[in-house]
């Protein structure tokens, strides 16, 4: 029976080079720590959006005299938080791409003890990204992903509270869409502007959500039938 070829003779010596393994191990830990910092920054903006919304909703329903226009500013603040979070998410995703590259092409060969998986140009891609970092997703896709994860629920709650505020505290009963449209007007704010922002938020959120569902994949897939049943234990 012929002996298996030695790794040194076949040229696949990277997994047996302590300097190479140590360098990539420290690089992986550094990149992992970096994405964790950006992941925490995502939680901060989401917390700001939730805290702002709950405070405004509580204040709006505590007094009848508070005009429903306060939700106009609430949605504006949530959009600002969403824009900031989408920008942070693009940085998080850019560094997460490096981590996934190392996990796929370095850690997997280490665990499987199969140097053949090291084949490819992944080292060149990582080096190019270190020299000239670049975003991996567009700004619109980042907005859609954050809407899908968190902000769809925040927008929904704020819009529901805005609608409920109009129905409960309007001076005239609302019996038709025309009555609801007229009730949107508050002093200097015309009804068309309030309705445009109200409907625009719904339409923009749905468009971005559909765009993301059609063009991007999940960060972590659902548990499918192709996985080993050992993971369920």
Instruction: Determine the structural domain holding residue 199 and report its residue range.
Output: 10-216
Say if 221 falls within a structural domain: no
Instruction: Please give the structure tokens belonging to residue 11.
Output: 């040229």
Does residue 116 fall inside a structural domain? Answer: yes
| 233 located within any domain | no
At residue 57, the pLDDT reads 93
Structure confidence at residue 7 (pLDDT): 44
Largest CA distance in the chain: 93
Q: pLDDT value at position 182?
A: 78
Query: Quick check: is 231 in a domain?
Result: no
For residue 4, is it within any domain? no
How many separate domains does the chain show?
Answer: 1
**CA–CA dist 153, 160 (Å, integer):** 10
**CA distances (Å), 212 to each of 142, 145, 215, in order?**
9, 6, 5
Upper half-sphere CA count for residue 132 (Cβ side, 13 Å): 3
Contact 46, 106 (CB under 8 A): no
Give the count of beta carbons closer than 10 Å to the beta carbon of residue 88: 19
- Each residue's pLDDT, cut to its tens digit, for the chain (233 residues) gives 444 444 444 445 666 778 878 888 888 888 888 888 888 888 999 999 999 999 999 999 888 888 888 888 888 899 899 999 999 999 999 888 888 888 888 888 777 777 666 666 788 888 888 888 888 888 888 888 888 888 889 988 998 898 888 888 777 777 777 777 777 777 767 778 878 887 887 788 777 777 766 766 556 555 555 555 554 54
Please report the pLDDT score of residue 2 as a whole number.
Answer: 43
**Rounded to 5 degrees, what angle do the CA atoms 15, 18, 20 make?**
65
Instruction: Return d(Cα 163, Cα 166) in angstroms, integer.
Output: 5
Q: Which pLDDT score, from 0 to 100, does residue 199 have?
A: 82
- For 192, residues 6+ apart whose C-beta sits below 8 A from its C-beta are none
pLDDT at 4: 43
- Nearest in space to 129 (alpha carbons), one of 31, 33, 7: 31
């Amino acid at each position: 029976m012929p002996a298996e070829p030695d790794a040194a003779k076949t040229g696949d010596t990277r997994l047996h080079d302590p300097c190479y393994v140590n360098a990539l191990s420290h690089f992986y830990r550094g990149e992992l720590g970096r994405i964790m910092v950006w992941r925490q920054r995502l939680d901060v903006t989401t917390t700001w959006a939730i805290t702002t919304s709950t405070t405004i909703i509580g204040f709006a329903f505590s007094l009848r005299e508070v005009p429903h226009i306060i939700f106009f500013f609430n949605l504006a603040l949530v959009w600002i938080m969403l824009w900031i979070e989408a920008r942070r998410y693009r940085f998080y995703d850019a560094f997460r791409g490096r981590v996934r590259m190392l996990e796929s092409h370095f850690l997997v060969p280490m665990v499987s003890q199969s140097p053949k998986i090291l084949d490819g140009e992944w080292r060149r891609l990582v080096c190019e990204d270190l020299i000239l970092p670049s975003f991996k997703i567009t700004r619109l896709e980042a907005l859609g992903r954050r809407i899908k994860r968190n902000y769809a629920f925040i927008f929904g709650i704020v819009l529901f509270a805005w609608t409920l505020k109009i129905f409960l505290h309007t001076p005239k009963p609302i019996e038709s869409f025309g009555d609801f449209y007229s009730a949107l007007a508050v002093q200097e704010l015309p009804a068309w502007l309030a309705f445009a922002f109200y409907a625009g938020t719904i339409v923009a959120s749905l468009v971005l959500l559909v765009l993301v569902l059609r063009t991007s994949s999940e960060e972590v897939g659902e548990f499918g039938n192709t996985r080993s049943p050992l993971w369920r234990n």
